[in-house]
């Protein structure tokens, strides 16, 4: 009963739009010039015109570079790195998705950490500045761990939003 | 130890310099950080021969004969007295729609991963890695969620599977077009991963119609359903504009109007490709059937 009502409702669509696009695409075959009958299988027609629609479906192999915007921050809050790297003894690279590499980490349910990754140059200088900045914020200096080999700094506690903004203001 | 000791020298690998200068690391030189190793509490070793060892005084507590968790001394316990009800019954068979917030959509457009000058489809969203759909886990597509409706400012032609009212309003306010369409699991898998499907060499199937309980949703112009009467949609747009208090922009005057008004046929899976066609990726050709019966089947 419900099925009958549903199908009746669908059949009542005006203008015969039902399957119109599909019918149009299938029937336009005879009018297309670049089509050729397949030599081996006469029941098939080949065409190269519509291949551009297939090309649209292929996923890109590389992450696209973000386009230039007139104003930063963009509506979603993203800010591009400054064109000239800042004159500091260290450099913080962007992640492959063009974001600032500050992450939150939590272990065993209660151990909260903030990690700044992808640091190049003098890590200890950055550690000093981070310590100063966070002492102002939190009142006391939080424990900080520096890993020279991976170029990362781990800080006890969640400071990811503040650190992201601080790094963005520096121009990274 | 790395954090505690700080050597001299300029920027760079100080740890390496330290290693050169310090003596060899051996069991004699190693020590855990203070507070890392806490010694365990050993009971029964105190004054007076250990006494009660933290077990309390007499009774089931000291003797270790307490009944199981949930036992209420013989009264029918809580977990038995409350009747069963099928809240979670069939939960693994329910349709799931991956949420896509307007915030995330704006982020993808800002970073150039999704192109707003082309119609945005689930394929485009998957290629941009904005959503990951698992058709085998009862995912039926993507639903547009209103998180970020206040910052959304992109004019797009987007096709999702479900959308909330505020999300529809946010898209139309910026001059975009939104449609909701149904994909059965087979079509969804083909839509999300088109290239492995084309490599199989099968003809593109036609998209199936929605099941009974979803027909009502997709025939309603308020949800911008793909099966709804197209003449009801301008009214629904005006109604939403009045409800949320914005001026409805006239998209027919837009330069991208042609792109914004492209919609898929209810039986079509991809834009520009009809059901029944076989795609030959190695030779970049499309094979189309000519048999009368096949044409009738695929255009029905």
pLDDT 10s digits, A115-157: 999 999 999 999 999 999 999 999 999 999 999 999 999 999 9
**Higher per-residue pLDDT: A22 or B150:** B150
- B46 pLDDT above the threshold of 70: yes
Q: Where are the beta strands (DSSP E) in chain A?
A: 36-37, 44-47, 90-92, 102-107, 111-116, 119-121, 144-147, 152-156
Which residues are registered as beta bridge partners of A111? A107
In the prediction, which pLDDT does B71 show?
A: 95
**Cβ atoms of residues B156 and B134 within 8 Å:** no
Which one-letter DSSP state was computed for residue B111? T
**Cβ atoms of residues A150 and A117 within 8 Å:** yes
Contact A53 B113 (CB under 8 A): no
In the prediction, which pLDDT does B221 show?
A: 94
What is the C-alpha separation between B140 and B34, in angstroms, rounded? 53
B contacts of A126 (beta carbons < 8 Å): none
Q: Which residue of B has its CA nearest to A61?
A: B127
Which residues are registered as beta bridge partners of B100? B144
Q: Is A44 on the interface with B (CB under 8 A)?
A: yes
B contacts of A124 (beta carbons < 8 Å): 6, 11, 14
Contact B286 A46 (CB under 8 A): yes
What is the C-alpha separation between B109 and B185, in angstroms, rounded? 27
- B193 pLDDT above the threshold of 90: yes
B contacts of A40 (beta carbons < 8 Å): none
Which one-letter DSSP state was computed for residue B288? E
Enter the pTM of the model: 0.84
pLDDT tens-digit profile of B11-43?
457 888 888 888 888 999 999 988 889 999 888
In the prediction, which pLDDT does A34 show?
A: 59
What is the C-alpha separation between B182 and B210, in angstroms, rounded? 6
In the prediction, which pLDDT does B5 show?
A: 40
Contact A19 B271 (CB under 8 A): no
Calculate helix-pair angle for B165-173, B102-110, nearest 10 degrees: 30
**Cβ atoms of residues B154 and B111 within 8 Å:** no
For chain A, give the mean pLDDT. Answer: 84
- B268 pLDDT above the threshold of 90: yes
Contact B273 A50 (CB under 8 A): yes
Q: Which residue of A has its CA nearest to B206?
A: A22
Portion of chain B with pLDDT greater than 90, in percent: 77
For chain B, give the mean pLDDT. Answer: 91
Q: Is A71 on the interface with B (CB under 8 A)?
A: no
Q: Is A4 on the interface with B (CB under 8 A)?
A: no
Mean pLDDT confidence for B42-57: 86
Query: Smallest Cβ distance to B106: which of A18, A48, A76?
Result: A76
Q: Which residue of B has its CA nearest to A121?
A: B12
Q: Counting beta carbons within 10 angstroms of the beta carbon of residue B252, is it exposed (0 to 12), middle (13 to 18) or buried (19 or more)?
A: exposed
Task: Name every residue whose Cβ is closer than 8 Å to that of residue B169 and which is 6 or more positions away in sequence.
Answer: B149, B240, B241, B243, B244, B246
In the prediction, which pLDDT does A22 show?
A: 59
- Residue A172: how many CA atoms within 13 Å on its side-chain side? 24
Mutate to test the interface with A, among B10, B220, B285, B294 (most CBs of A within 10 A): B285
Contact A26 B279 (CB under 8 A): no
In the prediction, which pLDDT does A49 show?
A: 85
Q: Give me the sign of the Cα torsion angle B158, B164, B168, B173.
A: negative
What is the C-alpha separation between B138 and B95, in angstroms, rounded? 6
Contact A65 B154 (CB under 8 A): no
Mutate to test the interface with A, among B214, B286, B289, B293 (most CBs of A within 10 A): B286
- B56 pLDDT above the threshold of 70: yes
Where chain A has pLDDT below 70, the residues are 1-35
Mean pLDDT confidence for B58-75: 93
- B74 pLDDT above the threshold of 60: yes
């Amino acid at each position: 009963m419900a099925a009958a009502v549903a199908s009746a409702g669908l059949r009542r669509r005006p203008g015969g739009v039902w399957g119109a696009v599909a019918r149009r695409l299938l029937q336009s075959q005879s009018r297309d010039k670049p089509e050729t009958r397949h030599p081996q299988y006469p029941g098939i027609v080949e065409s190269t015109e519509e291949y551009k629609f297939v090309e649209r479906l292929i996923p890109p192999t590389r992450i696209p570079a973000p386009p230039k915007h007139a104003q930063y921050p963009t509506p979603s809050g993203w800010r591009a790195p400054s064109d000239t790297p800042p004159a500091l003894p260290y450099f913080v690279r962007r992640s492959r998705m063009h974001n600032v590499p500050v992450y939150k980490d939590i272990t065993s349910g209660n151990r909260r950490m903030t990690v700044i990754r992808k640091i190049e140059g003098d890590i200890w200088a950055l550690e000093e500045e981070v310590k100063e900045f966070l002492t102002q914020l939190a009142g006391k200096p939080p424990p900080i761990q520096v890993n020279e080999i991976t170029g990362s700094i781990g800080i006890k506690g969640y400071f990811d939003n503040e650190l992201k903004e601080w790094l963005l203001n520096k121009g990274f | 130890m790395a954090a505690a000791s700080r050597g001299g020298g300029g920027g760079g690998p100080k740890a390496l310099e330290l290693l050169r200068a310090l003596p060899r690391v051996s069991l004699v030189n190693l020590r855990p950080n203070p507070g890392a190793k806490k010694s365990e509490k050993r009971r029964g070793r105190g004054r007076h021969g250990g006494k009660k060892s933290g077990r309390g005084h007499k009774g089931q507590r000291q003797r270790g004969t307490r009944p199981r968790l949930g036992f209420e001394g013989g009264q029918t316990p809580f977990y038995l007295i409350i009747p069963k009800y099928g809240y979670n019954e069939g939960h693994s068979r329910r349709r799931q729609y991956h949420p896509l917030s307007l915030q995330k959509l704006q982020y993808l457009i800002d970073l150039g991963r999704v192109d707003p000058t082309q119609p945005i489809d689930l394929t485009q969203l998957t290629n941009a890695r904005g959503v990951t759909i698992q058709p085998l886990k009862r995912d039926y597509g993507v639903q547009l969620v209103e998180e970020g409706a206040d910052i959304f400012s992109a004019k797009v032609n987007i096709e999702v599977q479900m959308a909330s009212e505020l999300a529809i309003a946010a898209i139309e306010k910026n001059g975009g077009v939104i449609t909701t369409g149904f994909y059965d699991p087979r079509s969804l898998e083909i839509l999300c991963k088109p290239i492995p499907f084309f490599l199989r060499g099968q003809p593109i199937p036609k998209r199936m119609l929605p099941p009974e309980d979803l027909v009502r949703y997709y025939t309603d112009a308020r949800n911008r359903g793909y099966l709804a009467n197209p003449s009801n949609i301008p009214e629904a747009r005006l109604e939403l504009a009045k409800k949320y208090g914005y001026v409805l922009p006239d998209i027919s005057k837009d330069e991208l109007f042609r792109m914004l008004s492209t919609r898929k046929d209810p039986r079509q899976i991809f834009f520009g490709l009809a059901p029944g066609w076989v795609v030959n990726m190695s030779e970049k050709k499309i094979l189309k059937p000519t048999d009368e019966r096949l044409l009738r089947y695929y255009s029905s």
